[in-house]
Amino acid sequence: MRRIISTFLLLGFLLGTCVLQSQEIAVVDAKTGESLPHVYAEWTADGERHFAVACEKGIIQTDEMNPPVVLTLTYVGYKTLVDTLESVPSQIKMTPSEYQFQEVVVTGQFTPQSATRSVYQVRTLDREEMSAYGARDMSDIMVHQLNFRPRQDVRMGTTSFSLQGISGNNLLILLDGVPINGRTSDDFDFGQISPQQIDRVEIVEGPMAVLYGSNAMAGVVNLITRRSYEAGWSISAQIHEESAGSEYGWNKGTHNQSLQIARNFDSLPLTASAGITRNLFHGYQGDFKRAMLWKPKEQWIGNIHLQYRPQFWDISLRVDYLNEEIFAPGEPVGTVRPIALDDTFEARRTFYQFQAGRSLPEFGRIETMFAVTDYEREKIQKAVNLNTGSTQMSTAEGAQDHTSLFGFQNRTVVNYLMDEKLSAQMGYDFEYEKISGGRLIDGHSRSLYDLGLFLSFEKRFSELLSLRPGLRYSYNNQHSSPVIPSLNLKYDFHPDWQFRAAYSHSYRAPSLREMYFEFFDSNHRIIGNENLIPESGRHFNVHLSNRSLNIAGNPLQLSTEVFYNRIKDQITYGRSTQNIQNTTLINQSLFKSQGFRFRADYNWNNFRFSPSFALTGRNNIYSQESEDMGFLYSPEAGLSVRYRTDDRLWSFALNYQFYGEQPVYGIDVEDISQEVQLASVDPFQLLDLNVSRKLWSDLRLTLGVRNLLNVTDINSTPAVGTIHPFGDVEYISYGRSLFLTINYSLNK
Amino acid sequence: MLRNLLIITMSLFLFQACSSDDDNGMTDDPIISDPVLLDAEVGGPDEPHVVYIDLPTATQTIVNRDSWDLGFYSGDDGYYVILNQGAYVMAQPLEINDMTEVTAEDTVGMIEQMDQFAIFNAVLEDPRPNWLPNSVNWIDNSNGNLSETAFEAVVADGASNPVHIVNRGWAIDDSPRGWLKVRVLRSGNGYELQYAEIDSESFESVQIEKSASHNFTFYNFDRGVMNVEPPKDEWQIAFHSGLALFRFAGVFVPYAFRDYVIHNRYDVEIAEVLYDEEDNVDIVEEYNNLRYEDVFDLDFQSEINTIGSDWRTVGNPQFGGETQVNDDRFYVVRDAEGNYFKLIFAGMLSETGERGHPSIQYELLEP
C-alpha cells in the first residue's frame, strides 16, 4: 500500500513539473541518443542537498541549480556520472555501464521478460560473462557458479555437478528449452558442450518440476544458443591453447578450435548458422607407468541452425552433433609377460530439434517442439602384449560393448494472456526412450514413455504481488502417476526489493538406465535395478533480491536464498546384494538438503566485484531402520572480479571458488566394528585469472592461468553405502596451467 | 578314476626346450637348470582347475577343483580331515555323536548361514547378523595348520567324535552339491567315514587308508577315493582357486579367491623377497640379480599360504586399485630336497586380456 501511495506522489510530482519549466536538462543515452526516464539527480546548492528524478521524457527540472554546481546522475544500467557544471547544459549524455542488469529471460516464462519480473529466480550468464572464464568447455564455467559442486570422474574424463547438494540426476539441462540430459551416463557431462555455441545460460534456482517434469527438482540450466545476428555474414573463430599442468606441446596439453558462421538474409526473415568445434586434450599421466590419470580425449561438436521468422512466427530447425573419443591406456599387468588393456570409449550423439512458435495477438502464444536424440556409445578394449607389441581384441568379460539410445520428445505449450493481470500456461510433454545393446540386463532392449500434462496460472494481484499456482499430471508406462502441485509467489514489497517464494512437489520415475543398465569398465560395475520405485520430493525456497541499491553512487545488487529439499525414495548408488563387487541403484529412504545462498554484485568504476557464499546441509537417511544423523553442512564461497578499461581494449577477470570441507558419514573397511563414522571430504579452492586485450576491432587475445593454486587432488571419504576405504582420493585437476585464447569475430 | 587326472609336461619353455623322458614324474629326473616360463593351466576366467606344479621337472598336474569333498591326513602325527576349499565346502560339528540321532531339526538356520553366498550377503546386511563372525570356523585355516581345521581332529575315543554337518558347496558349473551329515572315526591306521543325507536313519560307512606317498587321501561322496594331489615329493606349489579367509569390510570371512597359491606342506618352504613399493624397483632386474648366496639371508615360511593372493591385485570399484601383478616382490622356493628356486609371477592375463591365465618364471639357483 505504501508503495502505491509513494508511486502516486511521485507521479504527481512528475506530471506537475515535466513540461512547464524553463531550466531543464535532457538526459540521453550516449550511444543511441534515446532519452532516459527516471534518472536520479543530486546536487548541492547553498549548503543544501537537492534531488530530482527525470520524467518519462528524460527531463530533469533544475530550478534551484546555480552554477557552478556538482551534479551526480545515477541510473540503473548506466555509469554514474559526476560532473562540475559551470553552466546548466541542455543535454547530458550517460554511458551504459559495462554490465547490464536488465536481463531478459525465457526459461519458464510466458513471454520473454525481464528477470526482475519473473516469478522464478533466474540468473543469467551472458556471452561476455562466459568469455571471462577462458573456458575450455562448459564445465569450466559451471565450476565457478555458486552451489554447483563439481565432481571429476577421471576414469571417464567427465565432469558432473550437484546443485543444492542434490545430484546431477535431478538437475535438468535444456538446450534452447529442450531437455538434453545424457541419460546413458551417470550425470550430464558439461564437458560435451562448447561455450562458443552458447549465447546465454539461464540458471533457475528452485524447483520447476511442474513445468518441466521429472528431472527439474533442484533447478534448471537452460543453454540458449545464439539467435540474432546482424545482417550479412558473421564469422567467429577461436583457438584455445592450454597446458596440462606444466606439460605443453604438439602432443601435450589442450588444443581447441572453433568456428561459427552465420548469415542473416536481409531480404528474408531467415538466419542460417553453422558451427564446428574440435576439442583435443592429450591427457595427463600422473604417477602411472603407462596409464593416464586424466584420459586423452578428442571431441568434434557441430551444429546447424536455421531460423525463419516471418510475422508472428518463429520457426527453427537445429541439429547438434557430438563425437567423442576417450582413450584410456592400461597399466602393464604382469612382470616378465606384461599385457595391457587399452580401452577406447566412443560416443556419438545427434540431436535434432524442430521448434515452431506463433504469437497470437490479443491471445498469447503457442509453441511446439519436436526433438529426436540418437546416441551411441561403444567401448572397445584391446589387449597389448608389451613385449612383442602385438595387439588383439580383448575377450575379457565386459571388454567390448555397444549401447544405443533413441529418444523422442514432443512438447507443446500454449500461453494465454487472459487479461493484463492473468495469464495461463498449459501444455503437454511426451517422451519416448529406447535403449538397446550389450549393456542391458539380459541383453533385451527396453523402452519407456512418459506423458505429462501441465497447467499453471499467473495472477498479478497488483504491481506488487504475483502468484503462480501450477499442476502437473504425468503418466508413465511403468510407474504410478501422481498429480503434483506447485505455487510460486513474488512480492515486490519495496520499489527496489523483490521477495520470491516457491513450493513444489516433484516426482521422478526411474530412468531406463537406472533400471536396466549394466555399466562395466575398469573401475565401474554398476548394475541397474528393475525394482526401483519413483522418487517424490518436496521443495521449498524463498528468495530476496534487489534491483539495485545505490551505494556511494555505485549500484549494488544483492540476492539471498534459503532452500529446503526433501526427496523420498531418492534413487542413489548402493551396494549390490547379489555381488559385492557391483554397485547398483537403490531407493534411499529419505534425502534432505537445506541451506542458504548469498550473492552480491557491486560495480565500482570499471570494476565489478561479485562475492558469494553458500551453506548447504545434507541429510541422508539410508533405510527406514537407519537413525537420523542430522544435517551435515558444508560451506562454499566465491569471488569474481571483472575489470575493463573505458576504451574496452583491456579486460581482466578473476574467478575464485572455495569449496569447504564436506562432512560425510562413512564406514572404514579396516574397522572391525563397522560403525558409521563421521569423516569428510577435504576443502579445496580454485583460482583462475586472465587478462584480455582487443587488437584491432575483430581480434581478442586472452592470456590466463587456470588453477593458480595448483590443486590436484584431495582426500575424500565416500558416502554411506559404499564400503570404500578411508583416505580415498578425489581428483580435482592436473594442476596449474596456462592458456591462450585467440578469438576473431567479424560482425556481431 | 584317472579321468580327472591329467599330466601336462613342460607347457612352455622360454629359453630352451629341455629334453625329458617323461616317465610319469619319477623324482630322479634331472632338474631343469635353465629358466622356465610356465603357464598354469587353471582354465580361464572361472579357474575350474587346480594346478600342482613340480618345479624341477616343470610338470603340471591338473585337477578339477570340485573333484573331491574331504581330505584325510596321511602323516604319522595325527588324524585330521580337511575340506575342499575349491568347491567351497563348509562344515561344522554338532554336539551329537550318533549319526542316527541327527535330523533336519539339528540344522535349522544353517542353510541360511553356512554357505559362501549367504556369507557374502550377510557382510552387506545392516546390521550384520550375529552369526557372521562364526563363519571363519566353517572352513580350514588357509595357513594349513591342521589344528585349525573346520572338522574336529579325529580322536582315538570313537564315541567322542561328533557328527558334522557338511555343505558340499558349489560345483564348477555353479550347481549346488548338497548337504550331508558326516562323522569320522579312527579305524586301524586309517579312518572310518560315516555319511548320510541329513534326514536319513541309516548311513554309509567307508574305510579310508592313510597313504605312504601322498599328504592326504581324497574322498568324493559320489565317486569314492580320488587321485588329486601328486605324490608329496613331486610338487611344490599349486594354483588353487577357492575359499580362503579374507578380511572383508572389517570382518574375516571365507572368500572365494581366484589365482590363490598354496605350497606343499611336505618340507617345502617359501621366502618372499619384498621391496618397498615407493622405491619403484625394476622387479625383473632384481629377480635376475638374485644369486644362490643371497637365499641364506631370507626368511623362509612354512605356512602354506605364504604366497596366497599377495602376488597380484585385482582392481575393484569398491576397493580401488589397479589390476596388476604386484611388481614389488618375488619369491624363493626351497623344495624337500633342499633345492632353491627363485620364482617370479610373470603375468595373469591371456594374450586377449582374459583373467585366469597366470604364468610364472623360475630358475634353479646353483652354488
Give kind and range of the element (H or E) at residue A2: helix A2-17
Query: B interface mutation test: which of A336, A382, A667 has the most B CBs within 10 A?
Result: A336
Between B320 and A98, the higher pLDDT residue: B320
Looking at 2.60.120.10, 2.170.130.10, 1.10.375.10, 3.40.50.720, the CATH number of the domain A104-222 comes to 2.170.130.10
Q: Which residue has the higher pLDDT, B76 or A435?
A: B76
Q: Are A386 and A360 in contact (CB under 8 A)?
A: no
CB contact under 8 A, B347 and A525: no
* CB-based contact A168:A90 (threshold 8 Å): no
pLDDT, chain A, mean: 83
- Residues A426 and A416 sit within 8 Å (Cβ to Cβ): yes
* H or E element in which residue A10 lies: helix A2-17
- Mention every residue, 6+ apart, whose C-beta is less than 8 A from residue A553: A72, A74, A80, A82
| For chain A, percent of residues with pLDDT exceeding 90 | 38
| Residues from chain B contacting residue A671 (CB–CB below 8 Å) | 250
Range with lowest mean pLDDT among A178-192, A724-738, B296-310: A178-192
> Contacts of residue B277 in chain A, CB cutoff 8 Å?
none
Contacts of A127 (CB under 8 A, 6+ apart): A199, A200
Query: Could you tell me the pLDDT band of residue A396, with boundaries at 50, 70 and 90?
Result: confident
Residues of A whose CB is below 8 A from B359: 334, 336-337
Residue of chain B nearest A672, judged by CA positions: B250
Pair B225, B218: CB distance under 8 Å: yes
User: Higher model confidence: residue B163 or residue A531?
Assistant: B163
C-alpha span between B73 and B145 (Å, rounded): 12
Are B346 and A335 in contact (CB < 8 Å)?
Answer: yes
Q: Nearest to residue B350, comparing CAs of B35, B40, B6, B13?
A: B40
Tell me the helices (H) and strands (E) count for chain B, helix number first.
2, 23
Q: How confident is the model at residue A648 (pLDDT cuts 50, 70, 90)?
A: confident
Higher-confidence residue of B219 and A695: namely B219
Which residues from A are below 8 Å from B251, CB to CB? 672, 674
> CA of B322 to nearest chain A CA: how many angstroms apart?
8
Cross-chain CB nearest to B345 (options A335, A525, A674): A335
Structure-model confidence comparison of residues A261 and A167, the more confident one:
A261
Q: What is the DSSP string of A133-186?
A: TT-SSHHHHHTTSTTEEEEEETTTTEEEEEETTB-GGGEEEEETTEE---TTSS
CB-CB under 8 Å, A577 with B320: no
Q: CA A99 to CA A607: how far, in whole Å?
A: 10
The model's confidence at residue A670, banded by pLDDT at 50, 70 and 90, is low
Predicted local confidence at residue B22, as pLDDT = 41
Smallest CA-to-CA distance from A54 within A69, A70, A34 is with A34
Of A383, A580, A722, which is closest to B349 when you measure between CB atoms?
A383
Helix, coil or strand: residue B2: helix
Looking at the complex, report in whole angstroms how far the Cα of residue B231 sits from the nearest Cα belonging to chain A.
30
Grid look-up 557430438 returns A322
* A8 pLDDT above the threshold of 60: no
Banded pLDDT at A441 (limits 50, 70, 90): low
B348:A334 CB<8 A:
yes
- Report the alpha-carbon distance of residue B237 to residue A641 in Å, rounded: 68
Say what the pLDDT of residue A720 is: 37
Coil, strand, or helix at residue A317?
strand
Q: Count CA atoms within 13 Å of residue A388 on its CB side.
A: 8
**Residue in A399, A581, A668 nearest the CB of B316:** A581
Shortest CA distance to A131 belongs to which of A220, A198, A203, A222? A198
Q: Which amino acid is at A158?
A: T
- pLDDT given at position B17: 36
Q: Judge whether residue A2 has pLDDT over 60.
A: no
Report the chain B residue with the minimal C-alpha distance to residue A666: B249
Set of chain B residues whose Cβ sits within 8 Å of the Cβ of A522: 315, 322-323
pLDDT higher than threshold 90 for residue B264: yes
Chain B positions in Cβ-Cβ contact with residue A390 (cut-off 8 Å): 351
> B322: nearest CA in chain A?
A331
> Is the separation of the CB atoms in B119 and B125 below 8 Å?
no
Q: Evaluate whether A485 touches A505 at the Cβ level (below 8 Å).
A: yes
Considering just the CA atoms, what is the radius of gyration of chain A in Å? 28
Residue entry with cell 617370479: B344
Homologous superfamily of A2-94: Carboxypeptidase-like, regulatory domain (2.60.40.1120)
Q: For residue B348, which residues of chain A lie inside 8 Å, CB to CB?
A: 333-334
SS3 B272: strand
Indicate the Cα dihedral angle B163, B169, B172, B173, nearest 10°: 120
Which pLDDT score, from 0 to 100, does residue A90 have? 80
Query: CB-CB: which of A337, A395, A580 is closest to B346?
Result: A337
Pairing of strands B216-220, B70-73: antiparallel
pLDDT at B92 over 80: yes
Confidence of residue A41 (pLDDT cuts 50, 70, 90): confident
For chain B, list residues whose CB is within 8 angstroms of any CB belonging to chain A. Answer: 37, 45, 120-121, 123-124, 126, 128, 248-251, 283-284, 287, 315-320, 322-325, 327, 344-355, 359, 361
Task: Please give the pLDDT value at position A522.
Answer: 44
Retrieve residue B81's grid coordinates.
580331515
Question: Closest Cα of chain B to A290: distance in Å?
Answer: 12
Contacts of A575 in chain B (CB under 8 A): 124, 318
Q: Which helix (H) or strand (E) holds B217?
A: strand B216-220
Mean pLDDT, all residues of chain B:
88
Task: Tell if the CB–CB gap between B325 and A580 is shorter than 8 Å.
Answer: no
Q: Which of A335, A341, A525 sits opposite B344 (nearest CB)?
A: A335
> Where is pLDDT greater, at A201 or A726?
A201
Dump pLDDT digits (tens) for B189-223. 999 999 999 999 999 999 999 999 999 999 999 99
Instruction: Work out the percent of chain A whose per-residue pLDDT is above 70.
Output: 86
Rounded to a whole number of angstroms, the distance from the CA of B76 to the nearest CA of chain A is 39
Query: pLDDT at position A184, please?
Result: 46
Distances (CA, A) of A256 to A153, A195, B180, B293: 21, 12, 69, 59
| B29 pLDDT higher than 90 | no
The reply to whether ipTM tops 0.90 is no
Q: Which residues of A touch B130 (CB under 8 A)?
A: none
Q: How far apart are CA A393 and CA A403, in angstroms?
A: 18
Q: Are B250 and B291 in contact (CB under 8 A)?
A: no
Instruction: Check if the beta carbon of residue B245 is closer than 8 Å to that of residue B254.
Output: yes
Give the angle A676-A682-A687 at the CA atoms, nearest 5°. 155
C-beta atoms of A334 and B346 within 8 A: yes
User: Which pTM was predicted?
Assistant: 0.81
Residue A686 has a pLDDT of 94
Whether the Cβ atoms of residue B114 and residue B167 lie closer than 8 Å to each other: yes
CB B143 within 8 A of CB B149: no
Minimal Cβ distance to B318: which of A332, A339, A581: A581
Is B73:B81 a contact under the CB 8 Å cutoff?
A: yes
pLDDT digits (tens, 9 = 90+) for A118-140: 888 888 898 888 989 999 989 89
Q: Picking from A38-52, A121-135, B68-82, B99-113, which range would have the lowest pLDDT averaged per residue?
A: A38-52
Mutate to test the interface with A, among B280, B322, B342, B343 (most CBs of A within 10 A): B322
Shortest Cα distance, chain B CAs vs residue A557, angstroms: 46
Identity at A377, one-letter amino acid code? R
Per mean pLDDT, which range of A576-585, A631-640, B20-29 is the poorest?
B20-29
Residue A338 has pLDDT above 50, yes or no: yes
Q: What is the pLDDT of residues A144-179, one digit of tens each?
A: 888 888 877 776 777 778 777 777 667 888 888 888
Q: Please give the pLDDT value at position A59.
A: 83
- Higher-scoring residue by pLDDT: B333, A268: B333
CA distance A339 to chain B (A): 7
pLDDT at A481 over 80: no
Give the per-residue pLDDT at A256.
96
Residues of chain A positioned with their CB less than 8 A from the CB of B249: 667, 669, 674, 723
pLDDT exceeds 80 at position B83? yes
Q: Report domain extents, chain B.
A: 2-66+233-365, 70-220
Instruction: Give the pLDDT score at B19.
Output: 37
Rounded to a whole number of angstroms, the distance from the CA of A620 to the nearest CA of chain B is 15
Per-residue pLDDT, A321 = 95
The strand pairing partners of A304, in sequence order, are A274, A319
- How many CB atoms lie under 10 A from the CB of residue A434? 15
R_g of chain B, CA atoms, integer Å: 21
- Specify whether the CB–CB gap between B120 and B107 falls below 8 A: no
> What do you get for the CA distance between the two ends of chain A, in Å?
45
**Domain residue ranges in chain A:** 2-94, 104-222, 223-746
How far off is chain B from A633, nearest CA to CA, in Å?
25
Which residues of A are less than 8 Å from B121 in CB distance?
A: 577
Residue A307, pLDDT score: 92
Check if the beta carbon of residue A641 is closer than 8 Å to that of residue A605: no
Which pLDDT does position A647 carry in this prediction?
A: 83
Cβ distance A674 to B345 less than 8 Å, yes or no, reads no
Three-state DSSP class for residue A249: strand
* Chain B nearest C-alpha distance from A394 (Å): 5
Q: Does domain A223-746 have CATH number 2.40.170.20?
A: yes
From the list B120, B317, B324, which residue is nearest A331 (CB)?
Answer: B324
User: Which among B284, B318, B326, B359 is the top mutation candidate for probing chain A, defined by the most A β-carbons within 10 Å of its own β-carbon?
Assistant: B318
**What pLDDT is recorded for position B28?**
59
User: Which H or E element spans position A632?
Assistant: strand A632-644
How far apart CA A284 and CA A666 sit, in angstroms, is 30
Which residue from B minimizes the CA distance to A333?
Answer: B324
Longest dimension (CA), chain B: 65
- DSSP-derived 3-state class of residue A526: strand
Give the closest of A336, A580, A626 to B124, CB-based. A580
- Looking at CA atoms only, how far is residue B252 from chain A in angstroms? 9
User: Looking at beta carbons, which residues of chain B come within 8 Å of A580?
Assistant: 120, 123-124, 248, 318
Q: Say if the Cβ atoms of B325 and A724 lie within 8 Å.
A: no
Q: Give the model confidence (pLDDT) of B31-82 as tens digits.
A: 888 999 999 999 998 999 999 999 999 999 999 999 999 999 999 999 999 9
pLDDT for A11 equals 38
Residue A263: C-alpha distances to residues A195, A349, A354 (Å): 20, 26, 19
Least confident of A336-345, A567-576, B284-293: A567-576
C-alpha distances in Å from residue A239, one per residue of A327, A488, A659 = 23, 44, 31
Decide if B315 and A523 are in contact by the 8 Å CB cutoff: yes
* Nearest CB partner across the interface for A341, out of B123, B346, B353: B353
Q: Going by C-beta distance under 8 Å and a sequence separation of 6 or more, which residues neighbour residue A430?
A: A408, A409, A410, A411, A449, A450, A451, A452
Distance separating alpha carbons of residues A65 and A73, to the nearest angstrom: 14
Query: So what's the pLDDT on residue A669?
Result: 54
Mean pLDDT of A701-710: 96
B124 to chain A: which residues are within 8 Å by CB? 575, 577, 580
Of A397, A525, A672, the CB nearest to B251: A672
